[in-house]
């Protein structure tokens, strides 16, 4: 009896059957193959235009698709003279993430508007390998971020106390081990445009003496040479477009000021953790200093050359996007000036306060100026915050800890899959429009439903190839279910769930969900798969993705899934249908 039971476990455990094509796929094949057993390229073209919404598809596109499907499907030995698809071929085509993806992979937006008109893929403390307190600083996370398409890299620069004339990058007031600035700059030069030709912005959090600023100016100009963009005037009225700035490096920081004794500012790194005001100030200064720090130095055009050595002026001349908080409260900080563009940095809590009382002023500010939002300092474990609060108010630089993982980072990845993954996503018109009486978009306003997205979740496949047979359950195939929903403005947020399919590596759900959207322009589709685990109380993770709703291609699509960190699985994917009504 014992042996018999083991046999049962063994067969259950390794049984993987190929699921049949869903009824909708069979129906589409029957309709477009006109009742026949094979679909020609001409018939496939009709399907592409009428069901998949690919109005620009040509007969040569359809022929090429047939060719690729047949090659992929091991038909090499038995090519028929007439290239046609069987039902299985058609199903394999629809379920191929390479041949039938949910969104396009080309840059299609207008890239000629001023750079402040775009959401920009932005990293926070880009040099950290792990947590914010005692992880190593390294060039590797910078390289990884650039390869992913991140366009804004943040470096905290401090004097190297050992050599007196060197410059270190590390997270101030913490125990993180430093990395040389020159190493970071060289790695940016080498990898800046590996994923995208559009400009890389380096935001410097500067804690240097004027002498060291002069040295950094020299390092930057010598490392980047012709790649470096030099602004024509001290304060630009508009930052040039991503198109004009292709393959260029841009510097954004506070203009230099009279040097205050660094000793009081830096303290002893090993003992200074308690001194740091983690929550509010991205310059890591104490409260007593921050009021002095917040002065608007951009107005000091007449540089005092006795207190500023010439090198510091050179440093100032490299800054394209000037950062700084003007004196006074929030209203002053959000003032829009006609003759200059600047960057304002707010912590996630400061942003929440600002939008609760001055939401439309924030939108108005971001129509011309840059707003950078950064994680609160207590996120020691490199977690993140809801990026949509920043985006729905027009914030261009929603800075994220790319070393972390979790729901909010998945949303960040999803946003920047948009526009061919180039790292710049044009802000929707509604955030740029000014109506009568200077009215701008109000994210809090109750709006009518503009568009409804219907998503049908057919099936999933590929776990048996990407996971060990015993990964989810030692004795039987997994019990998968899918969670699907929207992240966007508050009225549009929702999350729904399919039933769980027991004991199946290739689950078929065949369930449809409806999502009414008031602001589809900033909505992201969230998709997560879990394996139901009764004993754990919550499911084992089986994959996720996040997709920009405004780019979803209609029709039946293969949707590849990613792991917790955002790395794509080799084989795991879902078959979904998207329809806008």
> Any idea which residue has 């009709």 for tokens?
46
Cα 190 versus chain centre, distance:
22
pLDDT digits (tens, 9 = 90+) for 168-194: 999 988 888 999 999 999 999 999 999
Of residues 115 and 533, the one with the higher pLDDT is 115
Query: Which two tokens mark 403?
Result: 């070393």
Question: Would you say residue 100 has pLDDT above 80?
Answer: yes
Whole-model pTM? Answer: 0.88
Q: Is 85 helix (H, G, I), strand (E, B) or coil?
A: strand
Query: Is it the case that residue 121 has pLDDT exceeding 90?
Result: yes
| 171 catalytic per annotation | yes
Phi-psi region of 125 (alpha: psi -120 to 50; beta: other; left: phi over 0): left
- What does the pLDDT look like over 41-51, one tens digit per residue? 999 999 999 99
Whether residue 578 contacts residue 549, with contact meaning beta carbons closer than 8 Å, is answered with no
Q: What percent of the chain has pLDDT over 70?
A: 86
Task: Look over the chain and give the mean of its residue pLDDT values, rounded to a whole number.
Answer: 87
Count the alpha carbons within 13 Å of 149 in the hemisphere toward its beta carbon.
Answer: 20
Contact predicate 282/345, CB 8 Å: yes
CB 119 within 8 A of CB 150: no
- 448 has pLDDT over 90: yes
* Token digits of residue 152: 């804004």
Q: Residue 149: which of 199, 104, 185 has the closest Cα?
A: 199
Query: How many residues in total does the chain contain?
Result: 581
Q: Can you tell me the distance from the alpha carbon of 92 to that of 102, in angstroms, rounded to the nearest whole number?
A: 15
Report how far apart, in Å, the C-alpha atoms of 49 and of each of 23, 57, 58, 86, 171 are: 20, 7, 9, 19, 53
Contacts of 133 (CB under 8 A, 6+ apart): 171, 174, 175, 176, 273, 380
Q: For residues 5 and 475, what is the distance between their CA atoms, to the nearest angstrom?
A: 11
Distance CA 291, CA 282 (A): 13
CA distance linking residue 33 with residue 42, whole number of Å: 10
Task: Name the pLDDT band for 17 (thresholds 50, 70, 90).
Answer: low
Q: What domains sit in the chain, N to C, each tagged with a CATH number? A: 2-94 (1.10.238), 115-438 (3.20.20.190), 451-580 (2.60.40.150)
pLDDT, one tens digit per residue, over 463-521 is: 999 999 989 988 899 999 999 999 999 999 999 999 999 999 999 999 999 999 999 99
Q: What is the mean pLDDT of residues 344-366?
A: 96
pLDDT bracket for residue 74 (50, 70, 90)? low
Average pLDDT over residues 258-287: 36
For residue range 75-95, list pLDDT tens digits in order. Answer: 554 555 478 999 999 999 999
For the record, the structure tokens of 112 come out as 């000629």
Mean pLDDT across 272-283: 33
| Catalytic site residue from 91, 117, 168, 171 | 171
**pLDDT on residue 374:** 97
- Contact of 294 with 327, CB cutoff 8 Å: yes
What average pLDDT does the segment 265-293 reach? Answer: 34
Burial (0-12, 13-18, 19+ Cβ within 10 Å), 508: middle
Cβ atoms of 166 and 216 closer than 8 Å: no
Which ranges of 79-121 would DSSP assign to H, the alpha helix?
87-94
> 3-state class of 426 per DSSP?
strand
State the residue for tokens 């094979």.
38
Beta strands in 62-151 (DSSP E): 118-123
Q: Tokens 């040479």 sit at which residue?
A: 225
Per-residue pLDDT for 285 more than 60?
A: no
Exactly one of 91, 92, 117, 124 is catalytic; name it.
124
| CB neighbourhood size of 465 (10 A) | 12
DSSP structure string for 412-424? HHHHTTSGGG-SE
CA distance 412 to 422: 13
pLDDT tens digits for range 215-232: 999 999 999 999 999 998
Per-residue confidence (pLDDT) for residue 15, from 0 to 100: 54
């Amino acid at each position: 009896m014992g042996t018999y039971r083991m046999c049962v476990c063994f067969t259950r455990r390794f049984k993987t059957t190929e699921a049949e094509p869903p009824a909708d796929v069979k129906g589409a094949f029957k309709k477009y193959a006109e009742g026949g057993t094979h679909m020609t390229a001409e018939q496939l073209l009709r399907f592409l235009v009428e069901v998949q919404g690919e109005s620009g598809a040509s007969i040569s596109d359809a022929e090429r698709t047939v060719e690729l499907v047949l090659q992929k499907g091991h038909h090499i030995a038995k090519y028929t003279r007439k290239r046609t698809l069987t039902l299985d071929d058609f199903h394999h085509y629809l379920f191929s993430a390479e041949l039938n993806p949910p969104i396009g992979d080309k840059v299609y937006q207008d890239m000629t508007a001023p750079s402040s008109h775009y959401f920009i893929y932005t990293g926070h403390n880009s040099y950290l390998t792990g947590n914010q307190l005692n992880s190593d600083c390294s060039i590797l996370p910078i390289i990884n971020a650039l390869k992913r398409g991140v366009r804004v890299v943040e470096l905290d620069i401090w004097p190297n106390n050992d050599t007196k004339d060197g410059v270190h990058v590390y997270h101030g007031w913490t125990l993180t081990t430093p990395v040389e600035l020159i190493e970071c700059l060289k790695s940016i030069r080498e990898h800046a445009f590996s994923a995208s030709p559009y400009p890389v912005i380096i935001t410097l959090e500067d804690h240097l003496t004027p002498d060291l600023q002069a040295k950094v100016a020299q390092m930057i100009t010598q490392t980047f040479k012709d790649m470096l963009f030099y602004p024509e005037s001290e304060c630009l009225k508009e930052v040039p477009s991503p198109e004009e700035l292709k393959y260029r490096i841009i510097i954004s920081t506070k203009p230099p000021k009279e040097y205050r004794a660094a000793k009081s500012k830096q303290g002893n790194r090993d003992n200074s953790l308690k001194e740091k005001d983690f929550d509010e100030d991205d310059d890591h200064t104490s409260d007593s200093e921050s009021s002095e720090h917040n002065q608007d130095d951009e107005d000091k055009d007449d540089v005092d050359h006795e207190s500023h050595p010439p090198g510091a002026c050179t440093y100032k001349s490299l800054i394209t996007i000037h950062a700084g908080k003007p004196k006074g409260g929030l209203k002053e900080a959000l003032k829009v000036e006609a003759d200059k563009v600047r960057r304002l940095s707010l912590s996630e809590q400061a942003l929440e306060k600002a939008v609760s009382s001055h939401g439309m002023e924030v939108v108005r500010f971001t129509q011309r100026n840059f707003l950078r939002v950064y994680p609160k300092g207590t996120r020691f474990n490199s977690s993140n915050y809801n990026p949509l609060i920043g985006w729905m108010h027009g914030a261009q630089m929603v800075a994220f800890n790319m070393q972390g993982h979790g729901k909010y980072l998945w949303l960040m990845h999803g946003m920047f899959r948009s526009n061919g993954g180039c790292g710049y996503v044009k802000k929707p018109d509604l955030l740029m429009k000014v109506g009568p009486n200077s009215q701008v978009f109000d994210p809090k306003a109750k709006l009518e439903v503009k568009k409804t997205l219907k998503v049908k979740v057919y099936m999933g496949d590929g776990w048996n190839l990407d996971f060990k047979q015993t990964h989810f359950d030692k004795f039987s195939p997994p019990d998968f279910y899918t969670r699907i929903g929207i992240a966007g403005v508050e009225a549009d947020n929702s999350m729904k769930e399919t039933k769980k399919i027991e004991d199946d590596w290739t689950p078929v759900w065949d369930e449809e969900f409806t999502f009414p959207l008031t602001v589809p322009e900033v909505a992201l589709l969230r998709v997560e798969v879990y394996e139901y685990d009764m004993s754990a109380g919550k499911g084992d993770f089986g994959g996720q993705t996040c997709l920009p709703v405004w780019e979803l291609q209609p029709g039946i699509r293969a949707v590849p899934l990613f792991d917790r960190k955002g790395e794509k699985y080799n084989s795991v994917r879902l078959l979904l249908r998207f329809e806008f009504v």
